[in-house]
Structure 1
Amino acid sequence: MIYQFKVTLKDVGIPVWRRIQIESESTFEELHYVLMASFDWLGYHLHEFEIRKTSGERSSNIRIGLPEGGSFDAKDSLLFHMNSPLAQSIDFGFPRFLHEKEEQLSAWFKMEKDRALYTYDFGDNWDHDIVLEKILEPEPHTLYPLCIKAKNDTPPEDSRMEMLDDEIDLKNPDWKVIVEDINDTFRTAHWKKDFLDRDHFI
């Protein structure tokens, strides 16, 4: 099956969103790369998913990201201390991360309007609201992932302060060009490798 998501970048002053289609059996890691390409992020920062609604029921404390014990923990002070011998996360009831390479979208997005929050860059905190709009049959001869509509530009990396000071104009009426650029990325051979090559920055 094909999932159609509307992904909205929150708290940037004007509507910024992408409507994307992706195979339901894709992993959250694959969705992460799709979001990187769709919102023109470079992948230099950490990220996580938080499931907010699954099977039509509100959810909390279900977080999906890089595995515990990896580079993610070393860079995040809270998670580092949670995993130290004197303060295990289970002792304080903190949620553990599910591994984004192993979790499939279909395990959590069951019904239309199920949703998640995707956070990229824990300094600037670019939050993206992910809503499952439709569950579709795949179209013949269509390559996925696919962006079908978009609204306005994404802020540059590391620009939260400039956004707060109203120094960045995100208005872009030509949504078709945005969509074309995103889909050109998806059709480029080994497009995910550009993000994988940045792992050493994290």
Structure 2
Amino acid sequence: MATTRRKTSARLFIVKIELVDSKPLIWRRIVISDHASFATLHHVIQAAMGWHDAHLHEFRVGEQSIGVPDPEYDNPDRPTAIEKNVRLNRLLGTGSTFTYLYDFGDSWEHRLSVEQVRQGDDRYGEGLIAGIAGGERACPPEDAGGIGAYQEFLERWEHDPYGKETEDLRTWAGLDFDPARFDRAAAGAAIDRMLWNGWVK
């Protein structure tokens, strides 16, 4: 598992991320410091899944919306908490479940579950830790139209792999795209690079 660190505690959340309604299930398992902000979690999800961070996003923990406030989308009766100001350990613990919505047009909904909270061992020292512990299947291509459109794409891929429409979709997705492949090493490297370069705090 790739890890990166900065100064502070070494208590860790083990979090499973599932792309809702994906069949077969697209999932990732990450490790992240419990004191990380929801802004950091957003960036780790993007890197772990394989998204490009090109669209709006929102966390929902119970009735609380967390993200980047936007007057166009916010409910004035339930204002959005600023994600960089909210730490995971303020709202989450073992067994917590919550959602992460990415791209308000395509509506990619992710279900997150805190499977375990544990103490980091001495080899990590103190600091902000994030890493990828597992996963299966590729992230859908950006702007694929949402989970329904992506499932239709997978059906064409399976039942008519050489059809004209399938070929067009494969060209658009990238000729090296393989829906069954998850590159764990690449996801881990992306998280490491992001944290070491100071792109998130």
Q: Same fold (TM over 0.5)?
A: yes
1:182: which partner in 2?
Answer: 187
Question: 8 Å contact 1:7–1:131 — kept in the other structure?
Answer: yes
For the residue of structure 1 that corresponds to 2:111, the secondary structure is strand
Cα offset, 1:49, TM superposition: 0.3
What SS is found at the alignment partner of 1:165?
helix
In 1, are the aligned partners of 2:48 and 2:191 still within 8 Å (CA)? no
Query: How far is 1:141 from its partner?
Result: 2.4
Name the amino acid aligned to 2:78: P
Aligned to 2:87: 104
Match of 1:56 in 2: none
Contact 1:29/1:101 (<8 A) preserved: yes
- What residue number does 1:118 align with? 100
- What is the DSSP-based 3-state SS (H/G/I as helix, E as strand, rest coil) of the residue aligned with 1:186? helix
Q: Distance in 2 between matches of 1:139 and 1:182?
A: 22
Name structure 1 gaps, 5 residues minimum. 52-58, 83-88, 194-202
In structure 1, the residue matched to 2:129 is 144
* Per-residue CA distance 1:60-81 (angstroms, 9 max, x = gap): x2111113xxxx32xx3x43xx
Q: Quick one: percent identity of the two aligned structures?
A: 25
Residue 62 of structure 1 aligns with which residue? 64
Equivalent residue of 1:141, what SS? helix
Gaps in structure 2 of 5+ consecutive residues = 1-10, 158-177
Measure the CA separation in 2 of the matches of 1:114 and 1:45.
Answer: 26
State the 1:191 CA deviation: 6.9
The CA RMSD over aligned residues, in Å, is 2.0
Match of residue 6 from structure 2: none
Partner of 1:165: 152
Q: How many equivalent pairs are there?
A: 161
Q: Is residue 185–residue 191 contact of structure 1 (8 Å, CA) maintained in 2?
A: no
* TM-aligned CA deviation for residue 115 of structure 1: 1.1
The alpha-carbon deviation at position 97 of structure 1 amounts to 0.7
CA offset at residue 182 of structure 1?
Answer: 1.2
Amino acid paired to 1:192: W
